[in-house]
């Protein structure tokens, strides 16, 4: 039964993805970034509803009131596809830090390019860091929030939170910008590189904004909050 439910979900996911990507390409001719992202959010919420109805995967969010009404840096743990999509609906306009090869995926990559992400080449960490700081600062100064997954790669939900790179700290310090940490457990249900979707409750916690401080204190505070929050999720399953 789980296989059939997962198959049905993916049929809906990929067919709607193609249709919606083409729709975004068309309306991008006359639409600005906030409009495109609001339209994209409609599809993402549709996918979440499909997960709920077909795969029995539900969502519980706490701390939504912690999202500021000004540009910020969203820092989240990274376990798979789900958060890459859903977090974009929380703050509009926003720009994600993504691998540049994602733009080459037919339909999805074409639509993604219209969302004006910051693309990086992970093989060249130094130039990628410089690009994140430069482009991220430009976007923050134009009212666009930044979404970063500082683990760099998808983590195993069983192992917890990986070590963070500190690009988001440098970006926050240069722009005196609030950091909003987000922790979730979606990888237990939309399992990375697995076909079968596991039923259950995705929990997402949005932490209070953190202002950057000199030295390592900010990075320690964010990472500690993330680890403790994720551990609490595991204990309360």
Whole-number pLDDT of residue 235: 66
Tokens of 152: 């760099």
Which segments of 142-216 does DSSP mark as H helices, in order?
167-175
Nearest to 157 by CA among 121, 126, 201, 188: 188
13-42 confidence digits (pLDDT tens): 999 999 999 999 999 999 999 999 999 999
Task: With a cut of 70, say whether residue 66 has pLDDT above it.
Answer: yes
| Structural domain boundaries in the chain | 2-235
Nearest to 71 by CA among 42, 93, 48: 93
Task: With a cut of 70, say whether residue 236 has pLDDT above it.
Answer: no
- Quick one: CATH architecture of 2-235? 3-Layer(aba) Sandwich (3.40)
Reported pTM:
0.94
Tokens of 200: 């259950």
Whole-number pLDDT of residue 237: 56
Residue 121 CB-half CA count within 13 A: 4
Residue 53, φ and ψ in degrees, nearest 5 = -75, -35
Whole-number pLDDT of residue 73: 97
Residue 44: its H or E element: helix 33-55
Going by pLDDT thresholds of 50, 70 and 90, the confidence category of residue 150 is very high
Whole-number pLDDT of residue 168: 92
What is the Cα–Cα distance from 180 to 167, expressed in whole angstroms? 14
DSSP E strand boundaries for 1-123: 57-62, 73-76, 94-99, 118-120
What is the Cα–Cα distance from 172 to 185, expressed in whole angstroms? 25
What is the Cα–Cα distance from 121 to 127, expressed in whole angstroms? 8
Are 124 and 174 in contact by the 8 Å Cβ rule? The answer is: no
């Amino acid at each position: 039964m789980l296989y059939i439910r997962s198959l049905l979900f993916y049929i809906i996911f990929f067919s709607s993805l193609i249709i919606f990507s083409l729709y975004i390409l068309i309306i991008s001719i006359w639409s600005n970034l906030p409009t495109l992202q609001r339209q994209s959010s409609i599809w993402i919420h549709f996918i979440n509803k499909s997960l709920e109805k077909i795969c029995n995967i539900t969502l519980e969010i706490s701390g939504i009131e912690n999202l500021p009404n000004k540009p910020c840096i969203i820092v989240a743990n990274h376990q798979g596809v789900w958060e890459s999509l859903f977090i974009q609906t929380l703050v509009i306009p926003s720009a994600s830090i993504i691998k540049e090869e994602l733009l080459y995926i037919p339909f999805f990559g074409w639509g993604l390019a219209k969302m004006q992400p910051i693309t990086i080449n992970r093989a060249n960490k130094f130039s990628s860091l410089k690009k994140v700081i430069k482009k991220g600062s430009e976007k923050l100064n134009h009212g666009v929030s930044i979404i970063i997954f500082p683990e760099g790669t998808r983590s195993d939900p069983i192992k917890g939170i990986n070590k963070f790179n500190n690009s988001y700290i440098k970006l926050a310090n240069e722009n005196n910008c609030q950091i909003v940490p987000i922790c979730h457990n979606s990888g237990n249900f939309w399992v990375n590189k697995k076909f079968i979707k596991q039923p259950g409750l995705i929990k997402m916690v949005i932490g209070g904004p953190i202002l950057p401080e000199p030295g390592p204190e900010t990075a320690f505070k964010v990472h500690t909050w993330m680890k403790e929050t994720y551990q609490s999720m595991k204990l309360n399953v």
